[in-house]
């Protein structure tokens, strides 16, 4: 601690100068900061639990004879079943009723959940509700006199603020119920993890911190210096699998949107509009002859969705929600998520250079479509164009995107091609090229014979400019 204090004082002197800060003032400031960390540990630490998940599996020759198995279980306490520990994580008690907030991935697919409090008490936990899309779950324990942590307002966070991560990293090695505390700052806000890492989860509005987060920290709280939970630690980016100073937490205010539903065991309800959106690149703006690069581009509108009922179309540019400017896709998604179904908002968008404002009623979130992966097909001659191999829509694509889906199915893309560089991938469905509709392979072939130079390709995943 002496080394940390000395370093801290040196930084203060460099920033403020000797004339504005005496050594005694610096020591007092460092001690006050130290006391704040100690207070957070004493205040929140007792409410942070260790969560172990177990799977029950059958093994041994006894499972061949269920009658013998039952006899041995009743009379000798023996069974062919064994409990295998499948995961370790953390959680935080959020009310006196024993509700614990954690990550969905911590408790997913568990047959049994063991919750251990810092005071040594152990309870069987029951998942009352979980949401894979937001990676959040509530586990309830039948416990009395449990310490409770306070949920703070994550919208008030600023980059550079002190934060403390509390949890049970490497709980399988450190056999102690007392949680670990690490200190850092808010490194950035509204971070998004690559879609390849998300596996169907929305990791598009995360708090980034350099407070050490390791395996087992998942589900534990990220706390501000006042002892308020402002995030749930959920992921790290690290080549080694251990902390590299790139930790991420789900903001508390995002959790509050579905928290009551999770407690009651009800299905999560959060805002949904029914549009698929993408950023506006310079190339796309030029191809669509857009006057601006601000806002987000609509590339697909789901039928019977709130957006469809309002009149939004592919190619529209959303620029504002309730007169607040929309700068990027994450900003719009973040705001829609937090709105309750049934809420009425004013949506401003641009179509053919004209600015339009209409009232939109927020809908309820539904399941997401997933990219269809191409399958091996024998005796099929696929049309190839600019490195793209396509064929008529297979049945799996129709099931995925709807029976009325039209277009051609991308079965392959050469990695050296301009199409691959633009972002087109196997499994995409192309239904427009340069605003010319494509319903089938014949129409695709007719269109590609007429287009030259760079073209604007529309797929079920968005607009792409192929040079």
CATH number of the domain that 330 lies in? 2.30.42.10
pLDDT digits (tens, 9 = 90+) for 281-338: 888 888 877 776 678 999 888 888 899 999 999 999 999 999 889 888 878 888 888 8
pLDDT digits (tens, 9 = 90+) for 2-40: 444 555 555 555 555 555 556 566 667 778 888 889 999
Cα torsion at 171, 172, 176, 180 (round to 10°)?
Answer: -20
**Boundary-marking domain end, from 267, 302, 318:** 267
Tokens of 332: 């719009």
Beta pairing class for 408-413 and 112-116: unpaired
218 is catalytic: yes
- Asked whether residue 108 falls in the same domain as residue 242, the answer is yes
- Asked whether residue 85 falls in the same domain as residue 27, the answer is no
Cα distance from N-terminal residue to C-terminal residue, the chain: 59
Q: Is 51 exposed, middle or buried (0-12, 13-18, 19+ CB in 10 A)?
A: buried
Count CB atoms within 10 A of the CB of residue 429.
23
**Boundary-marking domain end, from 364, 394, 413:** 364
Note whether 386 and 418 are within 8 A (CB): yes
- Asked whether residue 108 falls in the same domain as residue 211, the answer is yes
Count CB atoms within 10 A of the CB of residue 305.
16
Residue of 276, 298, 280 whose CA lies nearest to 290: 280
Long-range pairs for 36-40: beta carbons < 8 A, 24 or more residues apart: 36/162, 36/225, 37/164, 37/181, 37/183, 37/225, 39/227, 40/164, 40/181, 40/223, 40/225, 40/227
SS3 label, residue 41: helix
- Asked whether residue 348 falls in the same domain as residue 395, the answer is no
pLDDT digits (tens, 9 = 90+) for 214-233: 777 889 999 999 999 999 99
Residue of 137, 207, 104, 123 whose CA lies nearest to 165: 207
- Per-residue pLDDT band for 363 (boundaries 50, 70, 90) equals confident
Tokens of 193: 């993890």
90 is catalytic: no
The domain tally of the chain equals 4
- Say whether pTM exceeds 0.75: no
- Asked whether residue 396 falls in the same domain as residue 354, the answer is no
Alpha helices in 218-371 (DSSP H): 252-264, 282-287, 306-310, 329-337
Query: Of these residues, 69, 131, 135, 205, which one is catalytic?
Result: 135
More confident residue, 438 or 373: 438
Tokens of 335: 């705001």
Q: Is 457 exposed, middle or buried (0-12, 13-18, 19+ CB in 10 A)?
A: buried
Tokens of 289: 């002859």
Count CB atoms within 10 A of the CB of residue 210.
19
Tokens of 214: 């390791």
Residue that has been written with the tokens 């164009």 in this structure: 385
Lowest mean pLDDT across 56-65, 379-388, 441-450: 56-65
- Asked whether residue 92 falls in the same domain as residue 29, the answer is no
Residue of 181, 167, 166, 248 whose CA lies nearest to 210: 248
Domain annotation covers residue 327: yes
Amino acid 86: pLDDT: 60
Query: Of these residues, 105, 131, 154, 431, which one is catalytic?
Result: 105
- Asked whether residue 262 falls in the same domain as residue 155, the answer is yes
Q: What angle do CA 69, 71, 72 make, to 5 degrees?
A: 65
pLDDT digits (tens, 9 = 90+) for 383-416: 578 888 888 888 776 666 776 788 888 888 887 7
Count CB atoms within 10 A of the CB of residue 15.
9
Phi, psi of 251 (to 5 degrees): -60, 140
Tokens of 114: 């063991």
Amino acid 168: pLDDT: 86
CB-based contacts of 305, cutoff 8 Å, min separation 6: 272, 273, 274, 275, 363
458 is catalytic: no
Domain annotation covers residue 372: no
- Asked whether residue 332 falls in the same domain as residue 431, the answer is no
Beta pairing class for 228-236 and 150-151: parallel
Cα–chain-centroid distance for residue 116?
27
Q: What angle do CA 191, 192, 196 make, to 5 degrees?
A: 155
- Asked whether residue 86 falls in the same domain as residue 158, the answer is yes
pLDDT digits (tens, 9 = 90+) for 130-149: 998 889 999 999 988 899 99
Count CB atoms within 10 A of the CB of residue 375.
9
Query: Of these residues, 218, 243, 316, 458, which one is catalytic?
Result: 218
Domain annotation covers residue 293: yes
Full residue range of the structural domain in which residue 346 is found: 271-364
């Amino acid at each position: 601690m002496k080394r940390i204090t000395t370093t801290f004082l040196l930084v203060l002197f460099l920033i403020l100068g000797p004339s504005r800060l005496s050594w005694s003032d610096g020591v007092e400031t460092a001690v006050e900061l130290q006391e704040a960390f100690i207070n957070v540990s004493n205040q929140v630490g007792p409410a942070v639990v260790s969560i172990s998940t177990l799977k029950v599996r059958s093994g041994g020759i006894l499972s061949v004879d269920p009658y013998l198995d039952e006899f041995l279980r009743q009379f000798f306490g023996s069974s062919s079943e064994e409990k295998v520990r499948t995961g370790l994580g953390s959680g935080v008690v959020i009310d006196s009723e024993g509700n614990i907030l954690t990550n969905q991935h911590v408790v997913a697919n568990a047959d049994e959940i063991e919750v251990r409090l810092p005071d040594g008490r152990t309870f069987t936990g029951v998942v009352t509700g979980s949401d894979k899309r937001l990676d959040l779950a509530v586990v309830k324990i039948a416990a009395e006199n449990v310490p409770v942590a306070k949920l703070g307002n994550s919208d008030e966070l600023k980059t550079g603020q002190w934060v403390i991560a509390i949890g049970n990293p490497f709980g399988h090695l450190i056999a102690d119920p007392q949680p670990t505390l690490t200190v850092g700052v808010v490194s950035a806000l509204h971070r998004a993890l690559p879609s390849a890492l998300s596996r169907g989860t929305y990791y598009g509005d995360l708090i980034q911190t350099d407070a050490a987060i390791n395996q087992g920290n998942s589900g534990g709280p990220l706390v501000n210096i006042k002892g308020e939970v402002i995030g749930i630690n959920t992921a790290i980016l690290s080549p080694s699998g251990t902390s590299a100073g790139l930790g991420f937490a789900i903001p508390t205010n995002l959790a509050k949107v579905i928290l009551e539903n999770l407690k009651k065991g009800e299905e999560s309800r959060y805002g949904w509009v029914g549009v698929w959106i993408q950023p506006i690149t310079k190339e796309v703006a030029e191809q669509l002859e857009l006057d601006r690069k601000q806002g987000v581009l609509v590339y697909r509108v789901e039928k019977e969705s709130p957006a469809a009922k309002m009149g939004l179309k592919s190619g529209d540019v959303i620029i504002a929600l309730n007169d607040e400017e929309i700068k990027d896709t994450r900003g719009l998604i973040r705001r829609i998520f937090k709105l309750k179904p049934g809420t009425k908002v004013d949506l401003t968008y641009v179509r053919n250079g004209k600015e339009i404002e209409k009232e939109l009623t927020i809908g309820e979130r539904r399941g997401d479509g997933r990219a269809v992966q191409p399958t091996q097909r024998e005796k099929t001659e696929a049309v190839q164009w600019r490195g793209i191999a396509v064929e008529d829509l297979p049945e799996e694509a129709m099931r995925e995107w709807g029976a009325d889906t039209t277009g051609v199915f991308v079965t392959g893309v050469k990695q050296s091609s301009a199409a691959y560089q633009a972002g087109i991938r196997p499994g995409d469905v192309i239904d427009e090229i340069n605003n010319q509709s494509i319903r089938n392979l014949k129409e695709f072939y007719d269109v590609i014979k007429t287009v030259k130079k760079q073209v604007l390709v529309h797929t079920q995943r968005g607009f792409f400019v192929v040079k």
